[in-house]
């Protein structure tokens, strides 16, 4: 029996990318319209979440009792603290089950348009077809015949998130899939150091990411015209390094693929038989929206501080314009960005830096006690 769940390109915030939209203004997600106790909810399918979650205000709106969990020991890396909602009835796409959701508080600066997240472990006894080319996700009982011509890989067993192994006959690589992130390829620290070292002279940009509890990471990002890992070959993708917590969450995978990769790779996941199939999308129509300034401005502590502090790539437009690490951003043109927590015209800041090459911006910054203005012109940092 085939069950159909629609997928559309929406701007939403996933478990691995909740924050002040520091990286991407129009993130690809897999939305699922569901009902909890017969009340409609808008969830996102998140293969990078080890449990299904609801935002606290949503759980309250649904009238669910919430059990407060007391932490007796520190939270392990790669995990987040969550309370527990009472058991409820959940239905979507022909699937019906009783479940208990974890309950989390979205950071105060987040304006999320999803109510919660459905984790991968809901689908381990089903076949899931993900096809961003046709903007569709199908849940069925058996894989379609066409996958017999696709590459076939083994799922990592007993894993709460989606991880598979692929090989080219020489190396075996472990790869995680995170539909809760809009990113491209994120490499393990060990692999990143080797891969980046082989490209020491290649230009890079910089991006910032925030997880569900507001932990910030600033990462260098490179463009790979061709990227190969195990038996997977990808064309024209962004590559950065995974955080230590991401590596732990994904069972120390060699790489983690975000939603951008699913715009280049069709995928069928057969949880029933522990296998995953992939096939290249020959003519992808997506381009990665990246930072053409070469600098991000983020608070030192997203929960406690408001100042937007500069992190600058060498030889970038920001660097050439004289912006330095530690400078504080005050304005973009006439827009006061110090009000980023409350002014919807400010967030996401990334939309300014992702504009077309040649765009000119006037920035007002502060260094120590002195304010200064600088004119910058965005360039295609990652063009070859």
Residues 175/255, Cβ–Cβ less than 8 Å = yes
pLDDT by residue (tens digit) across 292-306?
A: 999 999 998 887 889
The residues, any chain, with a CB within 8 Å of residue 112's CB and separated by 6 or more, are 12, 13, 18, 55, 106
Beta strands 216-229; 205-210: pairing state? antiparallel
pLDDT averaged over every residue in the chain: 86
Cis peptide before 256 (omega within 30 of 0): no
Give me Rg for the CA atoms of the chain: 21
pLDDT by residue (tens digit) across 254-264?
A: 999 999 999 99
Structure tokens at 99: 């479940």
Query: Do the first three CATH levels of 2-122 and 295-377 match, i.e. the same topology?
Result: no
Residues 148/220, Cβ–Cβ less than 8 Å = no
Structure tokens at 224: 């790979």
Write down the CATH number for the domain with range 142-280: 2.40.70.10
pLDDT at 286 over 90: no
**Percent of the residues in the chain that have a pLDDT greater than 70, as a whole number:** 86
* Local structure of 163: helix, strand or coil: strand
Alpha helices in the chain (DSSP H): 56-61, 189-197, 244-249, 317-320, 350-353
Question: What is the rounded distance in angstroms from the CA atom of residue 35 to the CA atom of residue 39?
Answer: 5
Structure tokens at 164: 């598979």
Provide the pLDDT for residue 71: 67
pLDDT by residue (tens digit) across 311-328?
A: 999 999 999 999 999 999
pLDDT at 143 over 90: yes
Provide the pLDDT for residue 329: 98
**What does the DSSP 8-state code read for residue 366?**
E
What is the secondary structure of 176-197 as a DSSP string? EE-TT----EEE-HHHHHHHHH
Provide the pLDDT for residue 22: 31
Dihedral (CA of 317, 322, 325, 328) sign: negative
pLDDT by residue (tens digit) across 12-52?
A: 323 332 222 333 333 567 888 899 999 999 998 999 988 89
Instruction: Tell how far CA 10 is from the center of its chain.
Output: 13
CATH number for the 2-122 domain, one of 2.40.70.10, 3.30.420.40, 2.40.50.140, 3.30.450.40? 2.40.70.10
Provide the pLDDT for residue 14: 30
Domain boundaries, the chain: 2-122, 142-280, 295-377
Question: What is the rounded distance in angstroms from the CA atom of residue 23 to the CA atom of residue 307?
Answer: 18
94 vs 14: which has the higher pLDDT: 94
Q: What are the distances in angstroms from CA 278 to CA 98, 125, 232, 320?
A: 31, 19, 8, 42
**What does the DSSP 8-state code read for residue 296?**
E
pLDDT at 373 over 50: yes
Of residues 78, 119, 120, the one with CA closest to residue 102: 119
The H-or-E segment that residue 310 falls in is strand 308-312
Tell me the whole-structure pTM to 2 decimals: 0.87
Provide the pLDDT for residue 253: 96
For the chain, give me the number of helices (H) and strands (E)?
A: 5, 28
Residues 277/244, Cβ–Cβ less than 8 Å = no
Which fold, 295-377?
Pdz3 Domain (2.30.42)
The strand pairing partners of 176, in sequence order, are 163, 256
Structure tokens at 215: 């932990």
């Amino acid at each position: 029996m085939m069950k159909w769940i629609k997928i559309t390109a929406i701007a939403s915030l996933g478990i691995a990318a909740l924050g002040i939209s520091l990286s991407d203004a129009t993130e690809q997600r897999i939305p699922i319209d569901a009902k909890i106790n017969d009340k409609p909810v808008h969830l996102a399918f998140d293969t990078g979440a080890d449990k299904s979650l609801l935002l606290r205000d949503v759980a309250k709106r649904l009238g669910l009792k919430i059990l407060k969990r007391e932490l007796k020991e520190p939270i392990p890396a790669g995990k987040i603290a969550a309370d527990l909602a009472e058991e409820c009835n959940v239905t979507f796409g022909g699937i019906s089950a009783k479940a208990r959701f974890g309950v989390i508080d979205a950071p105060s600066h987040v304006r999320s348009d999803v109510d919660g997240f459905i984790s991968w472990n809901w689908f381990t006894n089903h076949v899931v077809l993900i096809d961003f080319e046709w903007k569709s996700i199908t849940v069925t009982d058996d894989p379609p015949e066409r996958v017999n011509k696709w590459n076939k890989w083994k799922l990592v067993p007993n894993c709460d998130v989606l991880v598979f192994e692929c090989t080219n006959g020489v190396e075996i690589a472990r790869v995680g899939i995170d539909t809760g992130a809009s990113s491209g390829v994120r490499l393990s620290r060990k692999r990143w150091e080797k891969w980046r070292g082989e490209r020491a002279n290649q230009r890079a940009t910089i991006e910032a990411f925030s997880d569900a509890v507001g932990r910030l990471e600033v990462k260098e990002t490179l463009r790979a015209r061709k990227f190969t890992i195990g038996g997977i070959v990808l064309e024209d993708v962004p590559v950065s390094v995974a955080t230590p917590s991401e590596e732990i969450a994904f069972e120390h995978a060699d790489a983690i693929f975000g939603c951008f990769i699913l715009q280049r790779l069709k995928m069928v996941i057969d949880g029933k038989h522990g296998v995953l199939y992939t096939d290249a999308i020959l003519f992808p129509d997506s381009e990665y929206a990246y930072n053409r300034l070469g600098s991000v401005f983020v608070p030192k502590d997203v929960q406690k501080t408001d100042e937007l502090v500069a992190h600058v790539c060498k030889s970038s437009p920001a660097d050439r314009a004289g912006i330095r690490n530690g400078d504080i951003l005050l304005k973009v043109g006439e827009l006061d960005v110090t009000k980023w927590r409350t002014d919807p015209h400010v967030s996401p800041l990334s939309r300014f830096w992702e504009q077309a090459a040649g765009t000119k911006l006037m920035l007002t910054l502060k260094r120590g006690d002195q304010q200064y203005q600088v004119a910058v012109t965005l360039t295609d940092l990652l063009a070859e």
